[in-house]
Amino acid sequence: MKENKKTYWKGLEQLSNDPEFVKHADREFPELPSNLSEEGNASRRDFLKLMGFSLAAASLAACETPVRKAIPYVNKPVDINPSIPNYYASTFASGGDYAAVVVKTREGRPIKIDGNELSPINKGKVNAIVEASVLSLYDKQRLAGPMIAGEKSDWKTVDEQVKSKLASAGTVKVVTNTILSPSTEKAIQEMGAAFGGVEVITYDPISNYGIVKANETYYGQGVIPSYHFDKAKTIVSFGADFLGTWISPIEFAGAYAKTRKISKEKPEMSRHYQFESNMSMTGANADYRTPIKASQSGLAVLALYNAIASKAGAATVSAPKVEIANIDKAANDLWAAKGASLVVSGSNDPNVQVVINAINELLGNNGSTIDFTTPVHFRKGNDARMNQFIGELKGGQVGAVIFYNCNPVYDHPRGAEVAEGIAKAKVSVATNGTMDETSSLVQIVAPDHHFLESWNDFEPKFGHYSLSQPTISPLFDTRQAQDSFLTWGGSSSNYYDFLRMNWESSVFTQVETGGEFQEFWDKALYNGVISANKITAALAPVGDVSAAASEVAKAYKADNAGAELVIYTKVGIGNGTFANNPWLQEMPDPITKATWDNYLTVSQSWAVENGVTMVEENTRKAQITVNGKSLIVPILVQPGQAKGTFGLALGYGRTKAGRVADGVGVNAYDLLEASKGFVNFDITSGVEIAVTADTYKIARTQTHQTFMGRENVIQEATLADYKQDASAGRYKPEIYKDGEFVKPSKISLWKGHQYSQHHWGLAIDMNSCIGCGACTVACQVENNVAVVGKQEVLNRREMAWIRIDRYYSSDAAADDLTGLEMASENPEVTFQPMMCQQCNNAPCETVCPVAATTHSSEGLNQMTYNRCIGTRYCANNCPYKVRRFNWFKYHDNKDFAGVNIAQNDDLGKMVLNPDVTVRVRGVMEKCSMCVQRIQAGKLTAKREKRKVQDGEINVACAVACPTDALVFGDMNDPNSKVSQLLKIEENSTSALKEVAEERAYHVLEEINVSPNVWYFTKIRNKEKNEA
């Protein structure tokens, strides 16, 4: 079966994947480059000779058409038809990070992951990491089979050795990140039964143990509740990046966006306060953001508690006085929205979390926005037990240790000690899929399948289940870790049967009352998710706030003079598990827009004091020393960084992740401290920062900070203004013509197009765009967009078809042009997704000398690669700077093989979308509005002899968007969602649609290029607009 699939695909899809063809392509002009490089001073004659030769060679090569094979299956599976995609419901899970997904496969290979709309958790949405995870399946650095002592082995030997060694090891410990799978937990216990029991030690690289611990003391149960951001009218977050990285960001982003959507019918939105040190993506979306020092954060929480308590008539706690802006304002808003508000904190300090619980209790949020009846399982890590275990491991008290898909040597603060301890264990086994920092130290590696090759089940929340199923036969000689556990435990059952049996006895009985299990199973597998109609008991406080409050009052200081390091997680790289994925490395960070690096974020005032200036990408390096450990990191000046604090991201500095991630950035896990019984991400003492003389370049895709007050680009208003006038904040340029001022669209050089059938358009709500970047990766996967690597990003040659422009506000006067370039100390942030605007009066089309970019009868600006000769006139004439030029051949080029892995080796190429051309050197490319999807959708409608239905054709960015900020559709269809949003009433075939929605505007409206992409003004829930 496996062989069939591979050969079949190679045969029929010769498009770009046939090795023979690839070889040919490589050999086309062997002499030309080498000759040129040999002769440094090649004369013009030589050049002409070579030209002549290459012309002849080109014609010759073209004449010899290679023989192409078409190889059908021997026995074609019924439901696999070449060129027709199949979709399978499955589940992405990496530790406690979870998303129910739908996997698109072509000819038996997964090529795209979208969210599963049936999921009550991520509701059809994904984030960048989930989108990108399909590429890690085709990573040729995955282990191809089991290893013993670093040598290749086979499963039989491995099983024999593990069994005999475990039997004599004494204690068996399984170290893991959060396991969401009930059947996996059961399989581990089954294995344990054969060896006198195993202990499962769970830790999470991004620990939320503080919440678990706090709930244990305060509510009597160490669980994390479900948070309902969608029910909250006032949201206060102390450093919790809940839109980007905190616990269940996809779910929270979707719920949060619901409270941020605004229309004339519903002119209400939530108000969001953020108190934090680093500028996080969540903070960037807040209405009121207050930069605070990490050392103050506990006191800020106490201040809020006291403010609320005095309103509620409850006892206040004694706390050192601290001046923090907006605390009282937040308290007032929270109190006004009692029962429909939410206070969260990203702190891992259990005492702080207890105070947070107390605040939410005073506000009556427990039971409304905080739901203990459906606790979540995303973070089961126990920092205290892990700490203790590392001690045991180091002390040689551990007989056998099995690392189940976790990498503590890299991603635990005491990784070095784990590394030391592994050697002392009698038996060490890892199921990790690659030779990473941990698995390279163990005796036996029994590599697990990739999640797209596996069966598994998940219970992300109490009573909510999902399944994952294989979407491809295993590519390598790997084995599902659960099968390994069962085998080692002496069971003859395979994991699939084990899983089914487990479901028959547990989930089936909870969900169904009678009926056939087979029917239930088929349905569950088809849908991917299933919910039992059950909840657990609500929790009421059993603890008291005073003890925790006095601890907090002791531990935090109102005025800490020393430098503070706040270690955070990036939206793209996360905890570093997927660091070896070039799509994620090249995804610009939502805030800093930096790629391929982590760096020390510093405040603007600190930079001025220390003479660090960042001119575009050029910066200096700093040495950071934390309690004796030091690292050299580049500096990035970050507006909004709290004074006296510094930020550094986790997930970098991998040493054995693979060719993409190794040596990129520094490992910040080393600086975390675990001594207080929990992993502490805020280092408030013993931090020294010294600027070094070394210079460095950080590859950022956007080096300007502000939009320089250009209201033709960013248009925004406050909620109060919007309520009075729906067009508040709109900039309406007018142009003088024949004695009067008219709208730019009234003056045109062009006759205007007619779109008789479809008129594709995109509406982008800047109010709900949170800047997460899921769209950019989704676009990269869908459209075979090349990864170019750090140097080329520095050269401004990144290839992304969609980018998210991030603008800071400036507090300079409108005429102070130099001052306007500088962002405010604590700026407002606006995110603006920018892609080809598909102009009706497209400036690019008029300047192309070969008509390679033309207009379609459906409103699309078409880019024809095979016609393009690379003059780049179009890019020069594009006012939105969204065209991308292929400066190099990024595919089949050894210079890019290390970064552009999806287009360079046979395995990586399996991820390419066969419906989209891989572009060559010298041609222009840009957003096509997923024309391949439009064509496919139209064809389906034609085959079924019906009209295209709204929603059946959707662009990759809009599908991925967790907040539904992008809405795509046919503007000729008055009932489509996009027409309704824009309030296009008349059903005309004209390219110029009358849009009645007051918030909708075109970027750069005055030049009247008449885009088919509309933006909606950003509305801030603020009293007044301030910088």
Partner 1 sequence: MLSKRSLVGIRLNFQTLAVLFFMLIGVSAYAVDPAVANSDEAISAGKTVFNANCKQCHKLDQKSVGPALRGISDRRPIEWAKSFIKNSQAVIASGDAYATALYKEYNNTVMPSHEFLTDDDLGNLLAYIEYGDKVDPNAAVAGAEGAATGTGAGGGIPTEYLTVILGVLVLVLLLILVVLGLIISVLTKYLNKQPLAEDDQEFISQKTDIGKIFKSDAFIIVVTALVVALVAKTALDGLYSVGVQQGYAPAQPIAFSHALHAGQYEIACQYCHTGVEIGKSANIPSPNICMNCHMHIQNVGGKEGISPEIQKIYDAVDNNQPIEWVRVHNLPDLAYFNHSQHVAVGGIECQTCHGPIQEMEVVAQHSSLTMGWCIDCHRQTEIAAEGNAYYDKLVQLHSDSKDALKVKDIGGLECAKCHY
Contact footprint for partner 1 (CB under 8 A): 4, 7-8, 11-12, 14-16, 59, 62-63, 65, 67-76, 81-84, 756-757, 852, 854, 856-858, 860, 862-867, 915-918, 928, 931-932, 935, 938-939, 941-943, 945-948, 989
Amino acid at 315: A
Give kind and range of the element (H or E) at residue 350: helix 350-362
- Is residue 666 within 8 Å of residue 654, measured between CB atoms? no
Nearer to partner 1, 16 or 871 (CB): 16
Strand pairing class (600-602; 1000-1001): unpaired
- Is residue 302 within 8 Å of residue 317, measured between CB atoms? yes
User: Least separation, in Å, of the C-beta of 948 and partner 1?
Assistant: 7
Nearer to partner 1, 496 or 865 (CB): 865
- Is residue 380 within 8 Å of residue 181, measured between CB atoms? no
User: Least separation, in Å, of the C-beta of 492 and partner 1?
Assistant: 28
11 DSSP assignment: H
Q: What size, in residues, is the chain?
A: 1027
Nearer to partner 1, 928 or 1021 (CB): 928
Could you give the CA distance from residue 605 to residue 614 in angstroms, rounded to a whole number? 13
Could you give the CA distance from residue 958 to residue 966 in angstroms, rounded to a whole number? 5
Residue 226, SS3 per DSSP: strand
User: Least separation, in Å, of the C-beta of 898 and partner 1?
Assistant: 25
Distances in Å between the Cα of 123 and the Cα atoms of 168, 169, 257, 383, 571 are 48, 45, 13, 31, 19
User: Least separation, in Å, of the C-beta of 29 and partner 1?
Assistant: 17
Could you give the CA distance from residue 105 to residue 450 in angstroms, rounded to a whole number? 15
Give kind and range of the element (H or E) at residue 213: helix 209-219
User: Least separation, in Å, of the C-beta of 257 and partner 1?
Assistant: 31
User: Least separation, in Å, of the C-beta of 860 and partner 1?
Assistant: 6
Nearer to partner 1, 82 or 541 (CB): 82
Nearer to partner 1, 9 or 389 (CB): 9
User: Least separation, in Å, of the C-beta of 935 and partner 1?
Assistant: 7
Give kind and range of the element (H or E) at residue 53: helix 44-63
- Is residue 97 within 8 Å of residue 378, measured between CB atoms? yes
Residue 458, SS3 per DSSP: strand
Could you give the CA distance from residue 801 to residue 586 in angstroms, rounded to a whole number? 13
- What is the gyration radius of the CA atoms in the chain, in angstroms? 29
- Is residue 782 within 8 Å of residue 956, measured between CB atoms? yes
Could you give the CA distance from residue 710 to residue 882 in angstroms, rounded to a whole number? 19
Nearer to partner 1, 90 or 976 (CB): 976
Q: Tell me the DSSP string of 574-607.
A: BTTTTTT-HHHHHSPPTTT-B-S---EEE-HHHH
- Is residue 556 within 8 Å of residue 295, measured between CB atoms? yes
Could you give the CA distance from residue 424 to residue 768 in angstroms, rounded to a whole number? 52
Bridge partners of 803, per DSSP, are 834
Nearer to partner 1, 49 or 69 (CB): 69
Pick from 666, 676, 608: nearest CA to 641: 608
Strand pairing class (427-430; 400-404): parallel
Nearer to partner 1, 239 or 859 (CB): 859
Amino acid at 98: Y
User: Least separation, in Å, of the C-beta of 208 and partner 1?
Assistant: 44
User: Least separation, in Å, of the C-beta of 756 and partner 1?
Assistant: 5
Nearer to partner 1, 242 or 760 (CB): 760
Pick from 502, 506, 505, 511: nearest CA to 530: 511
Nearer to partner 1, 62 or 537 (CB): 62
User: Least separation, in Å, of the C-beta of 778 and partner 1?
Assistant: 17
User: Least separation, in Å, of the C-beta of 953 and partner 1?
Assistant: 13
Residue 240, SS3 per DSSP: coil
User: Least separation, in Å, of the C-beta of 67 and partner 1?
Assistant: 6
Nearer to partner 1, 124 or 937 (CB): 937
Nearer to partner 1, 594 or 852 (CB): 852
Nearer to partner 1, 685 or 935 (CB): 935
Distances in Å between the Cα of 645 and the Cα atoms of 253, 279, 296, 684, 845 are 27, 11, 11, 9, 49
User: Least separation, in Å, of the C-beta of 754 and partner 1?
Assistant: 9
User: Least separation, in Å, of the C-beta of 16 and partner 1?
Assistant: 6
Nearer to partner 1, 486 or 852 (CB): 852
- Is residue 872 within 8 Å of residue 926, measured between CB atoms? no
Structure token digits, residue 556: 């935090």
- Is residue 944 within 8 Å of residue 950, measured between CB atoms? no
User: Least separation, in Å, of the C-beta of 81 and partner 1?
Assistant: 5
Nearer to partner 1, 328 or 952 (CB): 952
